[in-house]
Copies of this chain bind each other. A is one copy, B any other.
């Protein structure tokens, strides 16, 4: 199996990388965005916009509306700082922002934690299949629900 290798960021290093990537994309790294990214990055399970809104509200001592969170999450997804997990209606920080490729997410139905696999050959095959069917501008959504090793 072909596996994609790259540096995985965490903690402060991840926030740094996110900031760089966002600025690189011509967007601003504001306090609000930093706070939302920081909160998102603390989760190892996919976080809903409302989860994030609650925590950011606490952190700031002032209500932050889901609305604002969605706006920023959308931006993060568009700039590859975060990923949306469709089967969970939730979001994950991208541990390697700036590195553009498709991810495969594994989500445990039991504990909710998500891990991700990078297998470029597999994802390219999915892309190829879609393009062969006449699709363009394809964005694969590849997620696997199941029971993780710890919950086995």
| CB interface residues, A 88-147, toward B, < 8 Å | 89, 104, 106, 108-109, 115, 117, 119, 122, 125-130, 132-147
A12 within 8 A of B: no
How far is A72 from B128 in the complex, measured between Cα atoms in Å?
35
Task: Give A130 to B145 CA distance when docked, in angstroms.
Answer: 9
A31 within 8 A of B: no
The 22 listed contacts between A and B (C-beta, < 8 Å) are A1-B128, A1-B132, A86-B87, A87-B141, A104-B126, A117-B130, A119-B129, A122-B122, A125-B125, A130-B144, A130-B146, A133-B149, A135-B147, A135-B148, A137-B146, A138-B145, A139-B144, A139-B146, A141-B141, A141-B143, A141-B144, A142-B142
